[in-house]
Amino acid sequence: MKRVRALLRDNARNANAIAYTLMILGALLYPAVVQFATAGNGDYLVGLAADGGIYILMAIGLNVVVGFAGLLDLGYAAFFAIGSYTYALVASNHLGVTPLGHSLHVPFWIALFIGMFTAAGAGALLGAPTLRLRGDYLAIVTLGFGEIVPRLFKNAGIWTGGVPGIFALDVPTLPGWITGPWVNQPFGWVPDFRFTTDNLTAYYVLMIVLIAVVVVLVHNIYNSRLGRAWMAVREDETAAAATGVNTVSIKLLAFSIGAATSGFAGAFYGAKLSYVSSENFGFVVSVTVLAMVVLGGMGNIPGAMLGGGVLYFILFWFLPNAPAQVESLASAAGLGVLNQVNPNGWPGIAEEVSRSKYVIFGLILVGIMLLRPQGLLPSQVRKQELRHEEHEAIAAPRQLQG
């Protein structure tokens, strides 16, 4: 009891602790609230949140690379793709139609880990020769990698299903699961439970559990010698090297862990969709995850999660629904003229709104960097750094403009 009270006292003013608490509460209550608010039609929103969880996982992983180790990875989607495709190859009938002739149906969880380790391996392969490059060159190299990988998958024809992709992947299964009144079933234990789109609440719960596990693991690393070494390398690489830190392998580890997380998310994504295609892994995915991390707070786990959740809802719920809303709003406000489509000019305000995804990206990235570079939930280090910069800006006069 005393330990709990001490814990509460220490963390009472800690923004991160508050964030975690709110997130846990939110996660637990979300399905119930949503179902209540939509009078039982909340399945779509629950499923949406479950999908959002995949992006949140990726944000947590990219945060390790960008936020902890300070490496800008612009090709993060490549590892997502590798995880997905690996899962598709080992957990479907696809290998049967390849020259190999024999399909694998590796059990779900093992397949997930195979996807994860393959992605981690790819990360190590890419990182080994490139992590010694300076920051901007590394960013471009990862960007190039992120462009090459999906195209390789697209062009590998018979092995990767080419342009259409691979279908009918094995869905996630668990040895057992509980069902209950929340899915209009009596309470009971279901052995060999298969996750299907009929039971999105199950996906949601599974996602929450996965995220919680990953958060704990990443937290553990952060508070270990590894996290310290990353921070040191980010602060002053020369001093870190002089103090015995092998900077290249430390960076490689961060890079691989990030790749592993992305691969894991990718494998899960493929399983949930029961489908994988190279179209889903472009630069837009990498930029989205980066924007999530930047928005939420680089180097801060709950920050990355928050950024993930916020941006996901903006991109996948608000933006798709906005055009219709704006259209009816315009009509209601007597601005119905805005809705009229002119084939060679104004495409109607609804269309304009739906096209604005990239504008939003741009505004978020530029805005955050210029106005609040520490993000919504800054890490402790960043708070200190910025406090210092403020003091210095006030103390020392602007030398030579700029």
Partner 1 sequence: MVQRLRNSLTSTPTASAINAVGVVLVVAALVAAAIRIYQGGAGYFFQTIGFGLAQGAIFALVALGYTMVYGIIELINFAHGDVFTLGAFISLSLMPLLGLNEGQISGAALIIPLLVLFVVTMLVCALVNIGIERIAYRPLRHAPRLAPLITAIGMSALLEGVMNVWRGPSQLHYPDFLPEYQIPLGGGVTIAAKAATVIVIAVVLMVVLTLFVNRSKLGKAMRATAQDRDAAQLMGIDINRTIAATFFIGAALAGAGGIIYGLYYNSVSAFDGFTYGLYAFTAAVFGGIGNIPGAAIGGILIGIIYSISDGYFSVSWTQILVFAILIFVLVFRPTGLLGMRVPEK
Partner 2 sequence: MAAILRVNGLTKRFGGLVAVDNVSFDVEAGEVFALIGPNGAGKTTLFNCITGFFKPTLGHVVFGDKDLTGSPPHRTAKAGIARTFQNIRLFDYMSALDNVRLGHHCRMHAMLWDSLFKTPLERNEEREITEHSMELLALVGLEHQADNYARNLAYGQQRRLEIARALATSPKLLLLDEPAAGFNPQEKVELMDLVQTILRRGITVFLIEHDMRVVMQVSQRIVVLDHGEKIAEGPPVEVRNNQRVIEAYLGKSA
CB of 61 to partner 1, least distance (A): 17
3-state secondary structure (DSSP) of residue 123: helix
Q: Which is nearer to partner 2, 10 or 236 (CB)?
A: 236
Q: Which does 294 bind (CB under 5 to 8 A by kind): partner 2, partner 1, none?
A: partner 1
Q: How many CB atoms lie within 10 A of CB 111?
A: 26
Q: How many CB atoms lie within 10 A of CB 35?
A: 17
Angle, in degrees to the nearest 10, between helices 200-222 and 43-62: 20
3-state secondary structure (DSSP) of residue 207: helix
Q: Which of 126, 169, 245, 298 binds partner 2 (CB under 8 A)?
A: 245
Amino acid identity of residue 291, one-letter, is A
Q: Which does 358 bind (CB under 5 to 8 A by kind): partner 1, partner 2, none?
A: partner 1
Judged by CB under 8 A, the chain residues 172 through 201 that form the site for partner 1 are: none
- Residue 124 lies near partner 2 (rule: CB under 8 A): no
- Residue 388 lies near partner 1 (rule: CB under 8 A): no
Cα separation, 193 vs 113, in Å, equals 19
Q: Which is nearer to partner 1, 194 or 372 (CB)?
A: 372
Kindly indicate which of the ranges 215-223, 308-316, 346-354, 370-378 contains the residues binding partner 2, using the contact rule CB under 8 A.
215-223
Q: How many CA atoms lie within 13 A of 310 on its CB side?
A: 19
Q: Which is nearer to partner 1, 77 or 214 (CB)?
A: 77
CB of 267 to partner 2, least distance (A): 19
Angle, in degrees to the nearest 10, between helices 76-90 and 283-296: 120
Kindly indicate which of the ranges 8-16, 180-188, 201-209, 287-295 contains the residues binding partner 1, using the contact rule CB under 8 A.
287-295
Q: Which residue has the tokens 């960097």?
A: 369
- Residue 140 lies near partner 1 (rule: CB under 8 A): yes
- Residue 401 lies near partner 1 (rule: CB under 8 A): yes
Q: Which residue has the tokens 């002119």?
A: 342
CB of 231 to partner 1, least distance (A): 14
| Cα radius of gyration rounded to whole Å, the chain | 23
Q: How many CB atoms lie within 10 A of CB 257?
A: 21
- Residue 151 lies near partner 2 (rule: CB under 8 A): no
Instruction: Tell which residue, 344, 350, 308, 303, has the closest CA to residue 326.
Output: 350
Question: In the complex, which residues of this chain contact partner 1 (CB under 8 A)?
Answer: 66, 70, 72, 74, 128-130, 133-137, 139-141, 143-145, 147-148, 151-152, 154-155, 283, 287, 290-291, 294, 347, 351-352, 355-367, 369-370, 373, 400-402
